[in-house]
Amino acid sequence: MTYINDSYLKLTAGYLFPEIGRRVKKFCDENPSAKVIRMGIGDVTEPLAPAVIAAMHTAVDELAQRGTFRGYGPEQGYDFLREAIALNDYQARGANVDADEIFVSDGSKCDSGNILDIFGHDNVTAVLDPVYPVYVDTNVMAGHTGPADASGRYGGLVYLPVTAENDFVPEFPKQRVDLIYLCYPNNPTGVVASKDMLKRWVEYAHQNGSTILYDAAYEAYITDPSVPHSIYEIDGAKDVAIEFRSFSKTAGFTGVRCAFTVVPKALKGKTRDGREVAIHPLWNRRHCTKFNGVSYPVQRGAAAIYSPEGKQQVRETIDFYLENAKLVREGLTKLGLKVYGGVNAPYVWLKTPGNLSSWDFFDKLLNDANVVGTPGSGFGASGEGYFRLSAFNSRANVTEAMERFAKIV
């Protein structure tokens, strides 16, 4: 028989969201008349912006004609999209990112996992706890960890707890780390990073020769003008950070699939024999070998969000979700629950009532209120006793979910 990758056997549970889906399906099969409201996985509900639809239609029509047909595109993405991203998402904010530092892809989940291809196996890696599970699971799969302990923490990873006790601000690792995953606005807690906090991480990375893997998938939800949208708004970040961005939550592309990763040309790593090597060509090589680009109509659709009407339309949808988040925050606060996040982010993080465990509260909410959320412990040991609600939903569902909460809390 063929050898398998033994590291997969170290994974302690199924991926969080399919596990929730499995439990919800079982509940629905057993309770077919229940009207379940899903506030678990952060999946968008509102239709694509008209500007996006129009651009995608036009692109499909181009593919229908011999004269405008296109086959393989550039693996890194078409220039029209890379240039629009560089201009609107970075240069307009004073972050000096060039179009050729941007790699268009089919998702930040994939990119944040795939990035490990270009880093060595001996790096010490830090993650916040709770954390988006992909960062941890992909390190386990890559063989970068030992087995999990009783709390689900894997040997070899450095966990930085973020809880109400430290205002969700992680301490710097006590030991030197090579790779640091940061996600702001944060999934799952919904808190943001101040400019000062990011400055300190960039300083840490400079002092320790570390690389920051910065996930900014939710940056479009930032409304506070003092909060940075990109790590590259911090001086010196281009020497030490890779940034992941996505159209999923910005423009409702969870099913359409388009994202991008910024790998600055200034970013360097080192070989085992101590030579400095630029990271950009490595990612370019990986991307060209293992990826054939995002489809042309999808890239045209993504570029349309940077047109004046596209900008306004996606803003309206983001504001709609932010209003949902506000209703959740206010509704739960009125019920006496402790809530966090949900201001510059689409996620509300709450302390479970009555000190219930995260999964016990999940079951109670599902059984008694037919509402689905995400147990905080699914994001890590320090998420135990917390719970995440997603604001991606219709207004009617959010309002009804709050009414149902009032009956069970």
| Residues of this chain that bind ligand MLT (CB under 6 A) | 41-43, 109, 187
In the complex, minimum distance from the CB of residue 159 to ligand MLT, in angstroms, rounded to a whole number: 18
| Owner of token pair 């988006």 | 132
Q: Which is nearer to ligand MLT, 133 or 264 (CB)?
A: 133
Tokens of 166: 């430290």
CA distance 392 to 113: 24
In the complex, minimum distance from the CB of residue 358 to ligand MLT, in angstroms, rounded to a whole number: 15
In the complex, minimum distance from the CB of residue 376 to ligand MLT, in angstroms, rounded to a whole number: 12
Q: Which is nearer to ligand MLT, 24 or 41 (CB)?
A: 41
Q: Minimal CB distance to ligand MLT: which residue?
A: 42
CA distance 13 to 16: 8
Cα diameter, the chain: 66
In the complex, minimum distance from the CB of residue 360 to ligand MLT, in angstroms, rounded to a whole number: 21
Backbone angles phi, psi at 177, to 5 degrees: -125, 155
CA-angle at 266, arms to 250 and 283, nearest 5°: 65
Q: Which residues contact 17 (CB under 8 A, 6 or more apart)?
A: 40, 41, 374
Q: Which is nearer to ligand MLT, 202 or 345 (CB)?
A: 345
| Owner of token pair 């609600």 | 389
- Contact between 99 and 86 under an 8 Å Cβ cutoff? The reply is yes
Q: Which is nearer to ligand MLT, 51 or 217 (CB)?
A: 217
**Structural element, H or E, at residue 251:** helix 248-251
- Contact between 376 and 349 under an 8 Å Cβ cutoff? The reply is yes
In the complex, minimum distance from the CB of residue 168 to ligand MLT, in angstroms, rounded to a whole number: 16
In the complex, minimum distance from the CB of residue 221 to ligand MLT, in angstroms, rounded to a whole number: 13
- Contact between 343 and 333 under an 8 Å Cβ cutoff? The reply is no
The Cβ of residue 303 has, within 10 Å, a number of other Cβ atoms equal to: 24
Tokens of 182: 């940061």
In the complex, minimum distance from the CB of residue 284 to ligand MLT, in angstroms, rounded to a whole number: 24
